[in-house]
Structure 1
Amino acid sequence: MTVYDTARALPGIEELRDHSRGLAMLDAVLSPEWERRYYSFDAHWSEREQLASMKDGQGGEYTIVLSPAGAFARVFDHESPMSPFGELADGQTWPGVLDGVPEAFREYLTEPAFTDEDGVHVTTACLWRETGDTAWHTGPVEFDGLDDHDHDDPDGSGRFLRLLTDRSAEAYAEWASDFYETPVALDAVRHVLALRPLTPEVVAALNQRVTLADLAEDIAEIGYPAA
């Protein structure tokens, strides 16, 4: 699976925005400690932008900027042979990854949050979709030279964006049960992914150590619907 396959499987911008808010809210309930969370959503990243993000705690991450212009997504898999820090890339973003990014998103190519101290974009996969587009786009990425590397997912997009391409409650519950090492209530997951207002019962079903009141700041940051 490559970024081309991922682009075909991603939903439209609004569905992606809503699902990302649901993922972030679920992680906020399951992990009161912000530093241990996998998925996050900042509804107030700037005056006109929101940010959906993921960090796996081991150097892998994605960020998706949602703005009036559309959505700009970057993935970084530190284990990928396409990493700028790997032997093959020689300190540069992999050829083709950032080619073709439209003017509406060009500012993100120099965004400090997405580049290293030398200005190199820390990215192994990049996708974008303008508001009027009917599909996601990618650059003409060169995968030549990776045949000798055992990577079914050479750019990390399949693995790190998996819960955006498979948006079922079952997929999240299975992943979260493994990641957080605790059973996860499927009905509660369905409730949150549907963006229904949280109730004390739903919160308790996911994590009895957290109350609805504890989540007030997270609800505001995520922009999750309140009753």
Structure 2
Amino acid sequence: MISTKNFTSLPNRNSLQSICKAISVLDAIICPEWEYRYYSYNSKWGEGEEYCEMRYGSGDLMNILFLENNCVINGFAHEFQHNQKSDLTKNLPEIYNDFIFGEPVASFGTTFCLWTNQTGNWETGIIEDYNDNSEELLSVFDNTPQTYIDWATEYFEDSYKETGIPLETVTKIYQGQILTKEMVLSIVDEIEDWQLLEDDLKEIDYEYDFK
């Protein structure tokens, strides 16, 4: 399992970005109400910056910043505040400072942090206590569509078709295939506001064709 103790299987920056977009597309389909989603993605976060957020009502959060060739992950698990942020961000490259030490991350808090270095490999700061819940929060990034299905089946309960969330469709979205109405309607029985979904897909920057 991926964690701050074992992050060798954490996907590289580009693959992680693709996964973040895919799970945000799936959340947008299953849960039209943005405030109740778990994953969301903003491809227009800032100039040369894209942003993925995971938020959970219990207070756990994950914030991911994608720069052109770099990436940083900030995690906050409210019941696992065992390490100092100054240690967790030890040797953090300066390009991430505004994000990690600015808002909204500064107010959210940090219980784990990972970033890509100049060679594209993942790094962490100093971690005294690996009991940081990173394994649970990072588990969706194993690049396995079934992992998302298993999680969403429990989290969203009856928001999808009675037959369940289809692996074939989720796999296509993970692969970045153009989203069609048929694919959407294989997940949910209906979409009340197709324009709202289109707006979400534009924000995510995910290609679709609903003609």
Q: Same fold by TM-score, threshold 0.5 exceeded?
A: yes
Residue 95 of structure 1: CA displacement? 5.5
Contact (CA 8 Å) 1:70, 1:129: kept in 2 or not? yes
Whole-Å separation in 2 of the counterparts to 1:142 and 1:94: 11
CA deviations 1:171-195 (Å, max 9, x no partner) are 1111111111142121111121111
Amino acid at match of 1:124: T
Report how many aligned residue pairs link the two structures: 202
Whole-Å separation in 1 of the counterparts to 2:10 and 2:205: 22
Written as runs of structure 1 = structure 2, the 5 A alignment for 1:22-171 is 22-82=22-82, 93-94=84-85, 96-116=87-107, 122-130=109-117, 132-143=118-129, 154-164=131-141, 166-171=142-147
Identical aligned residues as a percent: 27
Moved beyond 6 Å, runs of 4+ = none
CA deviations 1:30-85 (Å, max 9, x no partner) are 00111110011100001210001101221001011001250011000011142xxx
Secondary structure in structure 2 of the residue aligned to 1:196: coil
**Structure 1: gaps spanning 5 or more residues:** 83-88, 144-152
Cα distance change, pair 134–49 in 1 and its aligned pair in 2 (3 A): closer
Contact (CA 8 Å) 2:13, 2:120: kept in 1 or not? no
Whole-Å separation in 1 of the counterparts to 2:35 and 2:113: 25
Contact (CA 8 Å) 2:13, 2:69: kept in 1 or not? no
Secondary structure in structure 1 of the residue aligned to 2:104: helix
Q: What TM-score, normalized by structure 1, do the two folds share?
A: 0.83
Match in the other structure for 2:206: 224
User: Which has the larger strand fraction?
Assistant: 2
Residue 214 of structure 1: CA displacement? 4.1
Q: What TM-score, normalized by structure 2, do the two folds share?
A: 0.89
Contact (CA 8 Å) 2:19, 2:143: kept in 1 or not? yes
